[in-house]
Each structure stands twice: as C-alpha cells, then as structure tokens.
Amino acid sequence: MNTKELRTFARSRIFSTFEERAAKGGFDRGLWREMAESGVVGMALDKRYGGGGAGMGEFVECVSLLAGEGLDLGLTLSLIDHVVLCAYPLQVFGSKWLKERYLPPLCKGDCIGAAAVSEDDGGGDPKRMRSSAARAGDGYTLSGVKGPVTNAPVADLFLVVAATDPGAGKDGLSAFLVERAAGVRVEELGLGFLPTSPHGRVILDGVRVSADHLLGEEGWGHEKISRSLFIWERSALIPVVVSYLERWHHLVVSSLDPEGISPDLRTLLARRKVELTAYRALGSRLLELTFGEAENGRERLELLLFFGKTLPEWVESMRAAVEEARVPLDETLRAMDRDLRLLEVGGSLLDWQFQKLLF
Ligand SMILES: Cc1cc2nc3c(=O)[nH]c(=O)nc-3n(C[C@H](O)[C@H](O)[C@H](O)COP(=O)(O)OP(=O)(O)OC[C@H]3O[C@@H](n4cnc5c(N)ncnc54)[C@H](O)[C@@H]3O)c2cc1C
C-alpha cells in the first residue's frame, strides 16, 4: 500500500470501526488479516520468510500513519508488539529452522505473537523472575505465571523468558518460543484502557518444549534478549505515539475558538506544537540509533529516558490546557485521553535507569 492507500485504510477500516470494536472490548482477527494482506504486518521482516524486506524504519513510519489517522492506540500496540517483541527477535536470534517454521505465518497474519517476560510480583525485574525452564530429556519443562502480556488472549506464539539456571540470577535466564498448546492457559485481564488490545496473564503449567525452541543460547534471556525487547519496543512505539499526539493536539486546537482563549493558553498550545515537531525529529534519530546504521548506545539510552519522562509530562500539560479551555470532549477525544495511559507503563524502570545513569 502506498501512503494514500494506507491513509484511506486507516480512516475507513480502523477509525470508522474503532468505537464498535472498543465497545465489544475486542480484538478483530478479520481486521488483523486485512492489515496482513495490506503488507503492513510483515513489512519489516525478511523476504526469505515471507516478509516485505522493508526494514523497521519503514514499518514504524507506516504504523505512525495508521496511528495518526486510525486513532486506535490499542491496535497499534498489538501490532508493534507482535512484530517487535515476537517476530523480529525471532528473526534476529532464532535458528534457521525456527525462522522457517514461524516467520511465514507471523508475516501472513495466520499466527499472532506476544512476549511474556514480566511477572506479577517483580514486573520485568530479572532478579525477581520466578518462571523456570527445567531441562527434561531432549527439551525443557516451563512453569510460571507471566503478565500482563499484550495480545496474550489471542496469541498463538509466545516468546517466554524463564530461568534455566535459577542460581545464576539474570545470567541464568533463557528465552523460548512457546506455542499455545497443552499446559498454556491464558486469563484475560481488563486494563481499563486500550480496549482494542487484548491483554492477559499467561500460566505455564509444566509446558514441554523441545530444545530447538530455545531462542539463541541458554543464558541469553536477559542481557541479549529482554534488554533488546525493551529498546526495540520503546524505539518503535515512540514515533508512533508522537504521531498520535500530533493528531490529538490538532483535534484539540481545531475545536477551540481562538478569541475565546487567553493569550497565555494560545502560547502554551503553540509551545506544545513546537515540541511535537522536535519530538518527531528526535524520534527519527532514535529509530536510526536502534534499527539503522548509527551506533551510539549512550545517546540511544538518553533519548529513551528523555521520551520516557517528557511524553507523560507533555500529555499532562495538554490535559490541563484542555480543561482550562473547556474543550468540548467528544467520544474520540475521551478515548484518546483514556488510551494515553499507555505512557504510564514502565515508569519504575525509568526511575531506576535514571538513578544509574551518572553514578
Ligand atoms: C498495557 C501494558 C502492556 C504490557 N505488555 C507487556 C508484554 O507484552 N510483555 C511483558 O512481558 N510485560 C508487559 N507488561 C508489563 C510491564 O512491562 C511491566 O513489567 C509491568 O507493568 C510492571 O511495571 P512496573 O513499573 O511495576 O515494573 P517494571 O517496569 O517491570 O520494573 C520494576 C523494577 O524492576 C527492575 N527492572 C525491570 N526491568 C528491568 C530490566 N530490564 N533490567 C534490570 N532491572 C529491571 C527495576 O528495578 C524496576 O524498577 C505490560 C504492562 C502494561 C500495563
């Protein structure tokens, strides 16, 4: 699809059906298949395995367009997590056999992916991870409870991180690809926001996986894989969220009578607009640092921390302006405000990373 076709798709198939899908609280497999047929789902992935070979930068650009026009942040998160937290790590870390087996259906939309890393008590803290993957015969037996996991209720394939060597802390974690099969149970979780993105808790009850479902090598679960997932997901989501915020800002401003608001408020709204332009440029830089040629881990971390703190503050400031200007809130603005709670996720990890940054 070219840009014009994508825009039309976002308006006619995503925006126009959003309220109905959100009211049902559901994920629409039909719409997912349409996105796959349009080429968006597999576009970042290797052509050898059924992908479009376009790379992550182009994928994020397309998803940004879908988010800015379709205004469905939940569907956007589901799509990003399917690609960035399951299919792409498989492409980077998986064996040829694993890639041949799972990438084609992931690209085609026949198989939905998710990543189950976090746990109820410890969040994403590798030191507090309880899930285990015990060696058993020529494979492993996985046990534990993961969540919340994006896409869990509809996922067919999970990237699971569990301890193969519980005594070795974060160095004893490994990652596996686990099909939804005997021993995998999912409990749906209602988040109260992002109604079009299904979330759930994944219960692994002695799930048998063969050794060839190990992603990479034993011990790669945290340092190589979980850390990459964190960086990839954030780097992909940030430009998409900025595009969504640009649309939010536009909808707020266009619903105001300029004569009816104070000069201070006009200045504040103009500043928020200018900031979005800067965020867009910085988001492109972040993408380049994560998926492109530019390599500078320190700059990438600082940009991730910058966005992690700045975007929620930006949203808070806009919320206050919306209230002060008494912007009439229609269904679209209400839903956007609700779904922006996504920006609160991962706050404590950011605080922890800030504390470690200089000292
Ligand atoms: C809408 C939504 C979608 C989510 N989707 C998923 C998903 O698809 N898959 C999934 O696994 N989880 C998912 N989560 C879980 C999420 O990533 C967090 O783990 C969880 O929300 C707990 O957050 P937290 O701020 O309490 O803790 P966390 O952000 O998990 O961090 C708690 C503490 O653990 C330590 N810690 C965390 N991560 C690391 C790390 N990488 N390295 C070192 N120390 C670390 C830090 O000390 C940190 O302060 C989702 C959560 C929400 C709300």
What pLDDT digit, counting tens, does each position of 127-164 carry? 999 999 999 999 999 999 999 999 999 999 999 999 99
The protein residue whose alpha carbon is closest to atom 20 in ligand 1 is: 123
pLDDT of residue 45: 98
Rounded CA separation 245/340 (Å): 9
Instruction: Provide the token pair at 238.
Output: 């940030």
The 10 Å Cβ neighbour count of residue 253 is: 18
Rounded CA separation 249/318 (Å): 8
Cα-flanking dihedrals φ and ψ of residue 215, to 5°?
A: -95, 115
Instruction: Provide the token pair at 169.
Output: 């802390």
Question: Please, which residues have CB within 8 angstroms of residue 164's CB and are 6 or more apart in sequence?
Answer: 132, 133, 134, 135, 140, 172, 173, 174, 218, 219, 221
Cα-to-centroid distance, 49 and ligand 1 (Å): 31
**Position 299 confidence tier, pLDDT thresholds 50, 70, 90:** very high
Rounded CA separation 70/63 (Å): 10
Cα-to-centroid distance, 126 and ligand 1 (Å): 10
pLDDT of residue 239: 98
- Any bridge partners for residue 142, and if so which? 133, 207
Contact 219, 172 (CB under 8 A): yes
Ligand 1: nearest atom to the Cα of 199: 3
Fold of 113-219: Butyryl-CoA Dehydrogenase, subunit A; domain 2 (2.40.110)
Q: Where are the domains of the chain?
A: 3-108, 113-219, 223-357
- Three-class SS of residue 209? strand
**Interval 296-316 mean pLDDT:** 96
The protein residue whose alpha carbon is closest to atom 7 in ligand 1 is: 149
pLDDT of residue 286: 97
Fold of 3-108: Butyryl-Coa Dehydrogenase, subunit A; domain 1 (1.10.540)
Residue 233 annotated in active site: yes
The verdict on the CB of residue 191 being under 6 Å from ligand 1 is: yes
The verdict on the CB of residue 131 being under 6 Å from ligand 1 is: no
**Position 332 confidence tier, pLDDT thresholds 50, 70, 90:** very high
pLDDT of residue 44: 97
For the cut 80, the answer to whether the pLDDT of residue 25 exceeds it is no
Cα-to-centroid distance, 37 and ligand 1 (Å): 32
**Interval 15-23 mean pLDDT:** 96
**Position 295 confidence tier, pLDDT thresholds 50, 70, 90:** confident
Residue spans of alpha helices (H) in the chain: 3-9, 16-24, 29-37, 56-70, 73-82, 88-93, 96-108, 227-254, 263-291, 297-324, 331-339, 347-357
**Interval 174-181 mean pLDDT:** 97
- The yes-or-no answer to whether 3-108 and 113-219 have a common fold is no
pLDDT of residue 42: 98
User: pLDDT tens digits, residue range 281-293?
Assistant: 999 999 999 999 8
**Position 31 confidence tier, pLDDT thresholds 50, 70, 90:** very high
Residue with tokens 């991180």: 161
List the catalytic residue out of 34, 233, 259, 302: 233
Instruction: Provide the token pair at 3.
Output: 């840009």
pLDDT of residue 182: 86
Residue with tokens 């990003």: 80
